[in-house]
Amino acid sequence: MRNWTPEDIFNLRSKMNLSQPALGNLLGVTGNYVYLLEKGVKQASKTLMLLLDCVERQFKEKEKGKGVRKYEKKKSKKHI
């Protein structure tokens, strides 16, 4: 389990192009709570850190898949 800093949470949210309420919805917390986490006022619980790990892992897997799909689409279009 990664120890999530306020900067890590902000960077993940930015990479995913999500608002604070949208990330909060994924994690089961409010957008205001995400704001407080990013400002360092609140610290993520162990459970929330595990959820952040899962969200980050799924995002990375999705990004890997996009690269492969783009290549496959381009490849198949050339053959048509």
56-66 pLDDT tens trace:
999 999 988 87
- Residue 1, domain member (yes or no): no
Cβ contacts of 4 within 8 Å, gap of 6 or more: 44, 48, 49, 52
pTM for the whole thing?
0.79
Residue in this structure with the two tokens 């496959």, named with its chain if needed: 72
- Residue 20, domain member (yes or no): yes
CATH number at residue 47: 1.10.260.40
The boundaries of the domain holding residue 46 are 6-79
Domain count, the chain: 1
- Residue 63, domain member (yes or no): yes
Local confidence band at 68 (pLDDT 50, 70, 90 cut-offs): low
- Residue 14, domain member (yes or no): yes
Q: With 60 as the cut, is the pLDDT of residue 75 above it?
A: no
pLDDT 10s digits, 2-34:
999 999 999 999 999 999 999 999 999 999 999
